[in-house]
């Protein structure tokens, strides 16, 4: 999957949608299968007008140089997605890892902050990603009327029908 960024294109002004993709890679699954499936998904989603943010438990420690890390980085770079987590999220007596990550387009999101959030609920910290200076389009609110259908409203409808005169319809 080869992609090139058009030169001179101001990405902050051109992207109009944000797509947040959450992924999980099980340690027991074949890594090549994961890459192939992820590539298929990214091929469907990626355009220069969509700002993709990928978040997930990918089970690749970004604090170490594993064999799988360059392959994943290469695939994601073809969609302008780059790792943001460079701090440990799981810390214990023996090791520290960063197997959960957030990947963003650093060309579209030039001003961001990422930090850990210790939460005490899990064996790992959460991450907070703050995208500064994001322009969000205000959508006009529209009024939508929906009919509530339940046992009571059906009974009420039947009762109202019984009061109608059908002579003009069936003559």
Average pLDDT, the chain: 80
Helix 68-77 to helix 31-45 angle (10° resolution) is 10
Taking residues 75-90, report their average pLDDT. Answer: 86
pLDDT of residue 148: 86
pLDDT of 160 > 60? The answer is yes
pLDDT score of 36: 93
Q: pLDDT band for position 52 (50/70/90)?
A: very high
Q: How far apart are the C-alpha atoms of 58 and 85, rounded to whole Å?
A: 12
Locate the domains of the chain by residue range.
11-131
Q: Which two tokens stand for residue 59?
A: 């089970």
Residue 155 has a pLDDT of 93
Residue 102 or residue 125, greater confidence: 102
| Per-residue pLDDT, 41 | 93
CB 11 within 8 A of CB 108: yes
Q: Residues 46-73: what's their mean pLDDT?
A: 88
Q: What is the mean pLDDT of residues 81-91?
A: 80
CA 115/CA 57 separation, integer angstroms: 16
Task: Assign 170 a pLDDT band (cuts: 50, 70, 90).
Answer: low
Q: Which carries the bigger pLDDT value, residue 138 or residue 32? A: 32
Proportion of the chain above pLDDT 90, given as a percent: 29
Mean pLDDT of 135-149: 74
d(CA 76, CA 82): 7
CATH 3.60.10.10 assigned to domain 11-131? The reply is yes
């Amino acid at each position: 999957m080869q992609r090139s960024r058009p030169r001179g294109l101001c990405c902050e002004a051109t992207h109009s949608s944000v797509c947040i993709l959450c992924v999980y890679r099980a340690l027991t699954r074949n890594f090549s299968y994961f890459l192939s499936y992820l590539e298929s998904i990214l091929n469907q989603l990626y355009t220069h007008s969509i700002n993709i943010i990928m978040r997930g438990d990918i089970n690749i420690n970004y604090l170490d140089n594993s064999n799988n890390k360059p392959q994943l980085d290469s695939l994601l770079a073809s969609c302008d997605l780059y790792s943001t987590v460079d701090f440990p999220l799981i810390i214990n007596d023996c090791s520290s890892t960063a197997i959960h990550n957030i990947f963003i387009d650093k060309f579209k999101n030039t001003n961001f902050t990422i930090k850990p959030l210790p939460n005490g609920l899990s064996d790992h910290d959460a991450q907070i990603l703050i995208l500064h200076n994001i322009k969000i389009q205000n959508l006009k609110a529209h009024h939508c009327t929906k009919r509530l259908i339940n046992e009571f409203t059906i009974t009420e409808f039947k009762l109202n029908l019984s009061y109608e005169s059908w002579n003009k319809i069936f003559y």
